[in-house]
Structure 1
Amino acid sequence: MAQTALRLTARENEIEYPEAGTILKRDTYMDDICPSVRTKEEASKIIHDVEKASNEVVLVIFSDASEKAFGACAYARWRLESGSFESRLITAKSRVAPLKKLTVPLLELQAAVMGARLADAVVKESTFKFSNQILMTDSMIVLEWIRRPAQCFKQFVAARVSEIQRKTQIANWRHVPGILNPADDLSRGMRADKLTDRWINGPEFISKPISEWPQEKSDNDTEDTEERRMAFNGNVVVNPGEVDIVECKTWEEMLELYRQRIYGKQSEALNAEKVREIELLLLKRVQKDCFAEEYEVLKNGGKSVAKSSKLVNLDPQFDMESELIQVGGRLKRNDQLEMEVHPVVLDPSHQITQLLIKRIDSNVFNHGAGVEQVFSYIRRRYWILKGRCKIKSILRTCVSCQMWRKSPAVPKMADIPEARTRIGLPPFYSTGMDCWSPMMIKVRISREKRWGGGHL
């Protein structure tokens, strides 16, 4: 195709540049021009004429993708003496879509990357100079991505947009309707005997002036936000009941989940103040899930709960500062005790309560404490209903706790060998020898190794 394009260029410009036309037809193989001249001036004139004769050739790249494959094809387009244009296929490349499922816009972006690489390879490997490059895709989303800074997108899209912007000019990218895109034959798949003239010579509009090519329609509703990196500044109020903690196996995983929901995934690590805020949200969630009726009564100023409530014996009270239900009592004015005089009430069946017990057992006692020690430590701040029974059941199923408490098993001794059970035989009838490893012996001023053995 490159050879055909050069010969057609030579034929159209032979009248104006006779020497260049003759050389292009006679002394050219593929994209190498190798004539012989006598002087340096003649060589310079030939090079100048060849460049003038071929300065109207434009490289046109089409790219397209489907759920099965994506690819790109390159065409050379030049002006004829009559003023019209002609084009020929130079090269094409396609790939099968990856096994990992990607959306169609991402596949279209992959095709655009392939088109940019194809254009870069054709320009670098060919000694034939193109006056301009035009790259076309039928995806408006990809065009919007290419025309925006790569930093606006997530890593996958940002890396590919950056490569496209580095290898091509953004202004050279245009939109082509899908029905006119010859690269559609690559992405959809087609037998060789089914290929039409469009594949060899390009679409019909390519033989017309660029002003008559399909124009891009402005569409403000183009959905290009799928892969954009979004930035948000502000305060978020999260309902603790909306965060799914079923998959959380530890207290730290639950804190991290709440951090991402409240402060965002890109936020900094939690400090002590933020940890305290999240812990308050977790405690409120336990009480709202397990003591919903009592929580509303006490929050609205009620002095007591219903007689059928399981909190009635604790004389519960509501702390307006932390918005938590606490155990009542007569020690409000005593500020000299090291423990909380009004511990927070928790339900033993809630997952947050169970993760709290596991966290204290592992972080505070390193799985080495018993039920009573863990229970007394928790009681300083939290009042877990039937807490002793719950702690006992959790420690009983804790693998690390069982490993620490398990007494080492004494292996069963093997049978006595036959040589030691002989009766009525003289001493030293059965003997054995034991060798030991070398010992360091001081010999004068040096140290040497000595091996030894003993008879039994």
Structure 2
Amino acid sequence: MDDLLVSLQSREEAADVKAEIIAPLAKDGQQWDSVIDKNLGDQFTDWVGELNAGEVFEVSRWYETSSENIRNELHVFGDASEDAFCAVAYLVTENNQSERKVAFIIGKARVAPVKHHTIPKLDLMAALTGNRLKDTIMKEHSIHFHKVFMWSDSTTTIQWIRSSNEKQPTFVANRVAEILDTSTVDEWHHVECAKNPADLGTRGLSFDDIANSNWIKGPDWLLQAILLNEDNQHPVEQDMNVQVYLANEVIGVVD
């Protein structure tokens, strides 16, 4: 453990890793001087063994942007489970031929707090994480994003964000207030769980699995211009070779 923590780049990073390793032990009521459960011990040993694969793990950092792009979209997804909450972001570019490409920007996953929270609250924490990622991306990139899409598969989270003017529990109200401090209600949309790439981050992936997963590649449906269902604000299935309208504006043609 000490060798692992010393190898990290900063004290803050080491503290985060240590906290996330200890969290599962605390959830099971383990004490600092007690023998670790064999199942947890085996999981930790397997995880340490996988770290070597990280030395050859690569993610393309070229977004394939060019002067031919007429539209840049930022898509940020959040999701949560009892074990973790996470967010992942993609840049979607579209050229004058209506061809779209998806590029991974950044993803972040955190172990769920030791203190028990309901899944809706964890989903809200995932949305907040996604919003913070969005803020960082907007600050650190010189790319002009024509449209920002914030996605959650939690209808409760979307409802909380859309009803900020109503009285809410303190936990919810504080996080919704921070979210809406740097985003707008109309940027938040619902996505089906099966179409949400952030779902992968809540279950954990090995280095072998993550390289070819939708966490890195992004979901295929982002390759089509986004058509939102007006009632639920989620992407709907689209026929090929039809014009797509959003907010009374033609934003692309699906080939």
Normalized against structure 2, the TM-score is what? Answer: 0.64
Q: Secondary structure at the match of 1:73?
A: strand
Matched residue, 2:188: 173
Amino acid at match of 2:164: P
Q: Is the 8 A contact 2:74 2:90 kept in 1?
A: yes
| Unaligned residue ranges in structure 1 (runs of 5+) | 14-52, 219-456
Larger Rg: 1
| TM-aligned CA deviation for residue 167 of structure 1 | 1.4
Q: Does 1:139 align with 2:160?
A: no
Equivalences for 1:209-228 in 2 at 5 Å? 209-211=225-227, 217=232
| TM-aligned CA deviation for residue 151 of structure 1 | 4.9
Matched residue, 1:201: 217
Q: Secondary structure at the match of 1:206?
A: helix
Instruction: Give the 3 Å change call, closer, same or farther, for CA 133–150 of structure 1 in structure 2.
Output: same
Q: Is the 8 A contact 2:86 2:130 kept in 1?
A: yes
Q: Is the 8 A contact 2:92 2:100 kept in 1?
A: yes
Matched residue, 2:73: 58
Instruction: Give the 3 Å change call, closer, same or farther, for CA 100–59 of structure 1 in structure 2.
Output: same
Equivalences for 1:198-347 in 2 at 5 Å? 198-211=214-227, 217=232
Amino acid at match of 1:128: I
Query: In the TM superposition, what whole-angstrom CA distance separates every residue of 1:169-194 from its partner, at most 9, and x where no partner exists?
Result: 11011111111111011111111211
Q: Does 1:130 align with 2:145?
A: yes
Greater relative contact order, per chain length (Cα 8 Å cut-off, separation 6+): 2
Q: Which is strand-richer, 1 or 2?
A: 2
Q: Secondary structure at the match of 1:111?
A: helix
How far apart are the structure 2 equivalents of 1:145 and 1:184?
20
Instruction: Give the 3 Å change call, closer, same or farther, for CA 214–181 of structure 1 in structure 2.
Output: farther
Q: Is the 8 A contact 1:71 1:95 kept in 2?
A: yes
Query: In the TM superposition, what whole-angstrom CA distance separates every residue of 1:80-123 from its partner, at most 9, and x where no partner exists?
Result: 34312111110011110001101000000000000111101100
Measured on the aligned residues, the alpha-carbon RMSD in Å equals 2.0
How far apart are the structure 2 equivalents of 1:177 and 1:64?
11
Query: In the TM superposition, what whole-angstrom CA distance separates every residue of 1:415-455 from its partner, at most 9, and x where no partner exists?
Result: xxxxxxxxxxxxxxxxxxxxxxxxxxxxxxxxxxxxxxxxx
| TM-aligned CA deviation for residue 2 of structure 1 | 7.8
Q: Is the 8 A contact 1:77 1:88 kept in 2?
A: yes
Query: In the TM superposition, what whole-angstrom CA distance separates every residue of 1:340-398 from its partner, at most 9, and x where no partner exists?
Result: xxxxxxxxxxxxxxxxxxxxxxxxxxxxxxxxxxxxxxxxxxxxxxxxxxxxxxxxxxx
How far apart are the structure 1 equivalents of 2:93 and 2:208?
27
How far apart are the structure 2 equivalents of 1:170 and 1:2?
32
How far apart are the structure 2 equivalents of 1:181 and 1:199?
9
| TM-aligned CA deviation for residue 78 of structure 1 | 0.6
Matched residue, 1:110: 125
Q: Is the 8 A contact 2:79 2:86 kept in 1?
A: yes
Amino acid at match of 1:147: R
Q: Does 1:158 align with 2:163?
A: no
Q: Secondary structure at the match of 1:153?
A: coil
Q: Is the 8 A contact 2:86 2:202 kept in 1?
A: yes
| TM-aligned CA deviation for residue 214 of structure 1 | 6.8
Matched residue, 1:396: none
How far apart are the structure 1 equivalents of 2:231 and 2:127?
17
How far apart are the structure 1 equivalents of 2:137 and 2:75?
11
Q: Secondary structure at the match of 1:182?
A: coil
Matched residue, 1:100: 115
Q: Secondary structure at the match of 2:97?
A: coil
Normalized against structure 1, the TM-score is what? Answer: 0.36
| Unaligned residue ranges in structure 2 (runs of 5+) | 1-58, 234-255
Matched residue, 1:227: none
Matched residue, 1:4: 62
Matched residue, 2:204: 189
How far apart are the structure 2 equivalents of 1:70 and 1:216?
27
| TM-aligned CA deviation for residue 152 of structure 1 | 1.2
Q: Is the 8 A contact 1:138 1:181 kept in 2?
A: yes
Q: Is the 8 A contact 1:69 1:96 kept in 2?
A: yes
Q: Is the 8 A contact 1:75 1:89 kept in 2?
A: yes
Q: Is the 8 A contact 1:150 1:162 kept in 2?
A: no
Amino acid at match of 1:199: W
How many residue pairs end up in the alignment?
174
Amino acid at match of 2:222: I
| TM-aligned CA deviation for residue 3 of structure 1 | 4.7
How far apart are the structure 1 equivalents of 2:107 and 2:125?
15
List structure 1 segments (4+ residues) > 6 angstroms apart after TM superposition.
none
Instruction: Give the 3 Å change call, closer, same or farther, for CA 2–216 of structure 1 in structure 2.
Output: farther
